[in-house]
Amino acid sequence: MFTVTVTENVEETDTINVLRLVRTDEERLPAYPAGAHVDVTGPTGVTRPYSLCGPPDDTGAYTIAVKREEDSRGGSVALHEKAAPGTELTVGAPRQLFGLAHDAAMHHLVAAGIGITPLLAMAYELHAAGAEFRLYYVARSRAQAAFAGLLERCSFADRVRFHFGLRREATTAALTTELADAGPRTHVYTCGPLGFMDEITALAARTVAEERIHRELFQAGDVPDAGPARGFEVQLDTGEVYTVPPDRSIAEVLEANGVPLDTSCREGICGTCVLRVLDGEPDHRDHCLSAKEKAAGDQIAACVSRAKSPRLVVELW
């Protein structure tokens, strides 16, 4: 974690503000790959992950876009109202759970609403690398689309396709056409509301293999086939054993027993609390590990996932 200073807090739409952050000690910021996010602790002490949406080669500042959520814990509201230029915030090092496949022949980036943020960074990186890509941006209107003006005049504007103000059926038809020519080496990346991503995933799956479809989440959704929560034991690699009751998470139990554990979203989205599994069978209920990672069974998101076996042995990273 390090301290940054807000240099800009600009109203991009009526619900989205764009913040530019520089290191308070004037050092360079850690470099990051497109699709990465950082944990930002706001003025009220609430920590939330935000995608980095500036050019990845700009290590002089981090750019994040914050959608105001009135029914949240207050983190987004505080960043809108209390993070004026000059305000100091705490930021974690960038982490990537949603990255580009650099062996792809073609990249389709499909965004809805605030989901544009990680895909904008991907577009910057792909353009700089001379890679083939298209960026499709869905929003209720141009006025509600963050970065619309930037995308209309940027150096890769000819790669951007806007779909504003369309009914759902029309949007689906348009994106079906856009994704219809996806070849065997095409990768599809999508970010936005859960229902939107489900639809894009289904459309892409007609022509693209599952492992070439990538999703980024901003909110937790239902976990298919998640059964009732049962109690189990969690053992640390140092030998301590704790009981995890049905109504508490691994993270909560470890924290209650004084075991240091980094957490952020508490919803199984950001990946901050992922631990290595040394023995036992995880019951994955997160949205941050890939299907391949879940099948391997050697990691677990401690804030939401549980155990199918009576005991899990975990290693703190």
Domains of the chain, each with CATH number or no CATH: 2-91 (2.40.30.10), 106-216 (3.40.50.80), 232-315 (3.10.20.30)
Between vectors from CA 56 to CA 47 and to CA 220, what angle results, nearest 5°? 35
How high is the mean pLDDT of the chain?
A: 89
Q: How many CB atoms lie within 10 A of CB 254?
A: 23
Q: Kindly give the pairing relationship between strand 186-191 and strand 160-164.
A: unpaired
pLDDT digit string, tens, across residues 140-161? 999 999 999 999 999 999 999 9
| Rounded mean pLDDT, 290-294 | 79
Question: Does residue 123 have a pLDDT over 70?
Answer: yes
% pLDDT > 90, the chain: 56
Whole-model pTM?
A: 0.77
Its sign, for the CA torsion 5, 7, 12, 14, is positive
pLDDT of residue 70 exceeding 90: no
For residue 234, the cross-strand partners are: 242, 312
pLDDT of residue 136: 95
pLDDT attached to residue 262:
78
User: Whose structure tokens read 């503000």?
Assistant: 17
Q: Determine the residue type at 84.
A: A
Angle (deg, nearest 10), helices 168-179 and 194-204: 40
Decide: 171 and 195 in contact? Cβ < 8 Å.
no
pLDDT tens digits, one per residue of 299-309: 999 999 999 99
Q: What is the mean pLDDT of residues 223-245?
A: 84
DSSP H helices in 2-147: 75-81, 116-129
Beta bridge partners of 261: none
pLDDT tops 60 at residue 215: yes
**Tokens 């209650």 -> residue:** 256
Neighbours of 211 (CB within 10 A): 11
Query: 3-state DSSP call for residue 157?
Result: helix
Q: Residue type for 40, please?
A: V
pLDDT by residue (tens digit) across 259-275?
988 777 777 776 778 89
The arithmetic mean of pLDDT across residues 189-216, rounded, is 89
Residue 240's nearest CA partner among 305, 313, 317 is: 313
